[in-house]
Amino acid sequence: MRRSLVALAAPALAASAFAGCSLIYNPNNLPDPRMIDAALVDTNPCALELDGVAPKFIEEGRGDLGSAPALLVIHGNNIVNANLRIEVTGAAVHIEPITDAVASADHTYAAFSVTARVDSALGKNGPVDIPLEITVTQDTPQDGSCMAAASKTLSNKLVFRALPELTGATTIAALEARYSKVDLANVAFGGSVPAVVSAVSSITMKAITADASLTAPGPGGSQGSRTIGACPTAGGGGGIGGDANLSSLIADGGGGGGAGGVAPGVAGTTGSSGRGGTGGAQGIKSGSDRLEVLEASGACAGGGGGLGGTLVLTHVGGPGGGGGGTVALVAGGNISVTSISAKGGQGSPPAGSGGAGGGGGAGGNILMSTDSGTLAITSVDVHGGTGGSPNGGGGAGGRFRWDAPGGAAPAGATRRGPSFAALATRVFTSSLPPLSVVGTSGEGVTIRVIDQNAQSYDGGHTSINNGRASITPALKPGFNQVCITLDGGVQEHPESDKCIEVAFLP
């Protein structure tokens, strides 16, 4: 709105003018033209209106145990920073007092953060959504235009998502997609798929085991085999030992070692006169230490057993060991682990004379990722399995990737994945806020922005140099998520994607 200047002629001034006096123009007495041209927004604090909120849910555990509080943005009209108060309530739900509410300059948004700590009384039998109410109250002018402070309540727009806690278990039949908190002692993971443990707040464990056992793989690993096969599918990975020397019928070469990602093991050499063949070399690591897609980076099986002599009968060597498992610990807050093991299985000896031992299985894959917390890890073991006697080749080692906003690399880590660096604030008055991504130099990520209507926008691509990359994604008014996807990864997979909640208040 443009302000207008209205000249009022006072009676005395008019009389002076008729008396022959003149008005003297003095430019120094004019108001600042910036005040005239400045765009002013009309607002009436008494007419507070609320029509929506983003996101639509708050997870139990947000703001607890190292995780960031939930960020929410209300949309409405006539929202002002005049003792602005916001309260979020729901049946049996405990939300801590909100103290950081702030309105946008155009009076159409208010941003605030919510801490909803882990509550063991809720979500015991699985996720439950509980309706919430948001009450906004603000002071109004003291000119009598309002009888009291303005207050409005927004209903049926927001839910509290109660989640189960995973505590005390030693054997786990099946993992939930999400927990509010994980606190375990010793636990062994198995199954045919990677073990992915996801928590809103913290993950605390003592000893985690995802080892292969002889031919049986760890979770998501590949079965040990007697033959060469394609990694990472079951029944593949290792090279076959060489045949016995025809003149001596001495034992064959051992099976090749398990591969550490995709490539098969190298075959054992053919036996020579007077002695058996040597063990096969360990499987060559292929694929990437980035672990950008867990399903494709599963540890391969151990090498196939060496073949028996072929002069009269075939005596098959022992089978290879299974591949170590894949374990991902993904938390909003702190991760603390005493020890974690995903070793490859040992190659087996031959069933009878003339054969050789199987190759050892490859070590598994470990991913530990926190959005805003810290990592505390004492020991990680992803060694390949030993070859079976005689002459079995050893398995290749596995991989360990860590993602965190800060801190030093844990012992044994082979790669650091990309993460958002910690922010002083998540509420911006600029649509192009400066954000930082940390990770391994040379790593590339694709950026996207998701607005409060779940509409996704391309944010370009960047590479990390000297451990850091600066980005300025273009935000939309209100609530936004800024996400980065690791090159070669898949959106919305925890190993590939990282997202941060921010608000743009115009």
136-176 per-position pLDDT tens digit = 999 998 776 787 899 999 999 999 999 999 998 777 878 99
Between the CA of residue 83 and those of 73, 79, 488, what are the distances in Å? 17, 11, 48
CA 493 to chain centre: 8
What whole-number distance in Å separates Cα of residue 102 and Cα of residue 266? 63
399 neighbors 415 (Cβ within 8 angstroms): yes
What pLDDT shows up at residue 226?
Answer: 65
What pLDDT shows up at residue 278?
Answer: 62
What whole-number distance in Å separates Cα of residue 476 and Cα of residue 451? 6
Kindly indicate the confidence band of residue 5, based on its pLDDT and cuts at 50, 70 and 90: very low
What whole-number distance in Å separates Cα of residue 154 and Cα of residue 136? 8
Task: Collect all residues with Cβ–Cβ distance below 8 Å to 26 and sequence separation of at least 6.
Answer: none
What whole-number distance in Å separates Cα of residue 448 and Cα of residue 504? 15
What pLDDT shows up at residue 349?
Answer: 86
Whole-model pTM? 0.86
115 neighbors 99 (Cβ within 8 angstroms): no
What pLDDT shows up at residue 26?
Answer: 47
CA atoms within 13 A on the CB side of 347: 47
CA dihedral 429, 432, 436, 439 (to 10 degrees): 140
Asked whether the predicted pLDDT for residue 36 surpasses 50, the reply is no
Kindly indicate the confidence band of residue 301, based on its pLDDT and cuts at 50, 70 and 90: low
Q: Is 343 helix (H, G, I), strand (E, B) or coil?
A: coil
Between the CA of residue 31 and those of 4, 6, 7, 149, what are the distances in Å? 11, 12, 13, 34
Question: What is the pLDDT averaged over residues 459-482?
Answer: 98
Q: How many other C-beta atoms can be found within 10 angstroms of the C-beta atom of residue 15? A: 11
Kindly indicate the confidence band of residue 396, based on its pLDDT and cuts at 50, 70 and 90: confident
Structural domains in the chain? Answer: 45-163 (2.60.40.10), 165-415 (no CATH), 419-504 (2.60.40.2550)
Sheet of strand 150-162: strand arrangement: 57-59, 150-162, 128-138, 85-89
Between the CA of residue 190 and those of 251, 326, 346, 368, 377, what are the distances in Å? 35, 10, 17, 18, 21
Q: Is 52 exposed, middle or buried (0-12, 13-18, 19+ CB in 10 A)?
A: middle
Nearest C-alpha neighbor of 44 from the set 137, 120, 141, 130: 141
Strand partners, 340: 208, 380
Nearest C-alpha neighbor of 222 from the set 256, 183, 194, 253: 194
The token pair at 304 is 């196939």
Query: For residue 13, what is the enclosing H or E element?
Result: helix 11-18
Question: What is the pLDDT averaged over residues 45-65?
Answer: 97
Asked whether the predicted pLDDT for residue 71 surpasses 80, the reply is yes
- 117-131, 391-405, 453-467: range with lowest mean pLDDT: 391-405
Kindly indicate the confidence band of residue 287, based on its pLDDT and cuts at 50, 70 and 90: low
186 neighbors 207 (Cβ within 8 angstroms): yes
Between the CA of residue 417 and those of 302, 324, 469, 498, what are the distances in Å? 27, 21, 13, 10
Q: How many other C-beta atoms can be found within 10 angstroms of the C-beta atom of residue 463? A: 13
User: 């009436």: which residue's tokens?
Assistant: 44
358 neighbors 224 (Cβ within 8 angstroms): yes
Average pLDDT, whole number, for the chain? 83
Question: What is the pLDDT averaged over residues 276-296?
Answer: 70
3-state secondary structure 99-165: CCCEECCCCCEEEEEECCCCCCCCCCCCCEEEEEEEEEEECCCCCCCCCCCEEEEEEEEEEEEECCE
What whole-number distance in Å separates Cα of residue 125 and Cα of residue 148? 45
What whole-number distance in Å separates Cα of residue 378 and Cα of residue 400? 13
What pLDDT shows up at residue 106?
Answer: 97
What whole-number distance in Å separates Cα of residue 394 and Cα of residue 334? 36
Q: Is 427 helix (H, G, I), strand (E, B) or coil?
A: strand
